[in-house]
Chain A
């Protein structure tokens, strides 16, 4: 087997995550799907690292994780704040961004 298969898997997972973002209304689940997409990217980075034989890909994946951690902290805080004020975690309820 060629490690390229990992890339196919990463692409598949990324697409599934993106689809989840598009069709789920619960903000927490949407957020989980975003995490899934990030993980898929990480898998691709790690695989590239192996394909190229250097560690830069892993470094990028590492940074992705750090940024993802920061993002999760803020994102969840926002979700909690919205939930407090609107008693709903649905992304469709926050639909004031329109004419």
Chain B
């Protein structure tokens, strides 16, 4: 395959143009999507396209590794952290640093144009192709290089990986200075302090909601934050059931009542008022 010295096959050209557009679109989506989970998915798409390109370029091993390691492992790690940090939160794309966006655009434009100009400037009319290099098999060829010429670099990257693993553990590890309270101890403590002996009250689930982020109402009509999961409380993701919202709800119910009593025409009039 691809042994011609100046051009690739037409099939590869078609594939390049179609998938290239997909890759660029994925990259743009990565940058422009509001939700980070969407960005991650777009990036995964781009990476798969790149994997195909690797295959097309004769890098069979890398193509597979790209799918397995990058798209499979690294992107999953990203998604995991996205979930940890909060999947629903949408970023505001409004720029807060004055002039940052203009400068970024200017630099990107200049950089891109110069880079592409540089590539265009280089005389790369002919190419060797990997026919000979891959003749003994791509994986075997890579293995021969890794374990001979690049063996030290290989060993050092091994050390790097171990260091990174230890580093990640050190960074995310939190030292427990006391043993975790058991369920029995927790309940005993609850009884001893006497603040909340029975289980916490359930969140307020209305007819229009089936979500746990709505606080339950106390007999006097005020919302009780105690009913909402502390994690949601900490993130400030409690749905608003303040007095105004409740009044709005009551007004809606009243209008519905009136509508049923007086019919559609009077309702329209009432709205017009």
A–B direct touch in complex (beta carbons closer than 8 A) = yes
Chain A interfacial positions (CB closer than 8 Å to B): 1-9, 11-20, 22-26, 28-29, 31-33, 35-36, 39, 42-43, 46-47, 49-56, 58-59, 61-63, 65-74, 76-81, 83, 87, 89, 92
Q: Are A17 and B16 in contact (CB under 8 A)?
A: no
How many Å from the CB of B201 to the closest CB on chain A?
Answer: 26
Given contacts A6-B57, A46-B53, contact A53 B130 (CB under 8 A): yes
Residues of A within 8 A of B132 (CB): 53
Report the separation of the CA atoms of residues A42 and B62 in the bound assembly, to the nearest whole angstrom: 10
How many Å from the CB of B238 to the closest CB on chain A?
Answer: 15
Q: Are B36 and A26 in contact (CB under 8 A)?
A: yes
Q: Are B20 and A9 in contact (CB under 8 A)?
A: yes
Given contacts A76-B78, A76-B81, 7 further A-B contacts (CB under 8 A): A1-B8, A13-B23, A25-B96, A28-B40, A63-B153, A72-B78, A79-B81
Q: Are A8 and B145 in contact (CB under 8 A)?
A: no
Given contacts A19-B104, A39-B46, A62-B62, contact A3 B8 (CB under 8 A): yes
Residues of A within 8 A of B128 (CB): 50-54
Nearest-CB residue, chain B, relative to A62: B62
Given contacts A20-B30, A25-B91, A66-B157, contact A50 B167 (CB under 8 A): no
Q: Are A43 and B2 in contact (CB under 8 A)?
A: no
Instruction: Give a binary string over B42-83; 1 marks a CB under 8 Å from any A CB, 0 the rest.
Output: 010011001001100111011001100110011001100110
Q: Does B164 contact A (CB under 8 A)?
A: yes
Sample (11) of A-B pairs whose CB atoms are under 8 Å apart: A2-B8, A12-B112, A13-B27, A16-B108, A32-B43, A53-B131, A59-B145, A63-B153, A67-B160, A72-B78, A81-B172
Q: Are A9 and B23 in contact (CB under 8 A)?
A: yes
Number of A-B contacts (CB under 8 A): 241
Q: Does B84 contact A (CB under 8 A)?
A: yes
Q: Within the complex, which residue of A2, A55, A68, A87 is in contact with B7, where a contact is CB–CB below 8 Å? A: A2
Q: Within the complex, which residue of A36, A62, A68, A69 is in contact with B43, where a contact is CB–CB below 8 Å? A: A36
Report the separation of the CA atoms of residues A50 and B16 in the bound assembly, to the nearest whole angstrom: 15
Q: Within the complex, which residue of A4, A29, A80 is in contact with B30, where a contact is CB–CB below 8 Å? A: A29
Q: Which residues B140-167 have CB closer than 8 A to chain A?
A: 141-142, 145-146, 150, 153-154, 157, 160-161, 163-165, 167
Residues of B within 8 A of A43 (CB): 50, 53-54
Report the separation of the CA atoms of residues A68 and B157 in the bound assembly, to the nearest whole angstrom: 11
Q: Are A18 and B108 in contact (CB under 8 A)?
A: yes
In order of increasing CB-CB distance, the 7 nearest A-B pairs are A53-B128, A70-B164, A20-B31, A22-B104, A1-B13, A15-B112, A77-B171
Q: Which of B119-127, B220-228, B254-262, B265-273 contacts A (4 or more CB under 8 A)?
A: B119-127
Given contacts A23-B104, A50-B57, A65-B70, contact A16 B31 (CB under 8 A): yes
Q: Within the complex, which residue of B40, B74, B124, B133 is in contact with A4, where a contact is CB–CB below 8 Å? A: B124
Report the separation of the CA atoms of residues A65 and B82 in the bound assembly, to the nearest whole angstrom: 21
How many Å from the CB of A25 to the closest CB on chain B?
Answer: 6
Q: Are A70 and B119 in contact (CB under 8 A)?
A: no
Report the separation of the CA atoms of residues A23 and B107 in the bound assembly, to the nearest whole angstrom: 12
Residues of B within 8 A of A29 (CB): 30-31, 36, 39, 91
Given contacts A15-B111, A69-B74, contact A23 B31 (CB under 8 A): yes
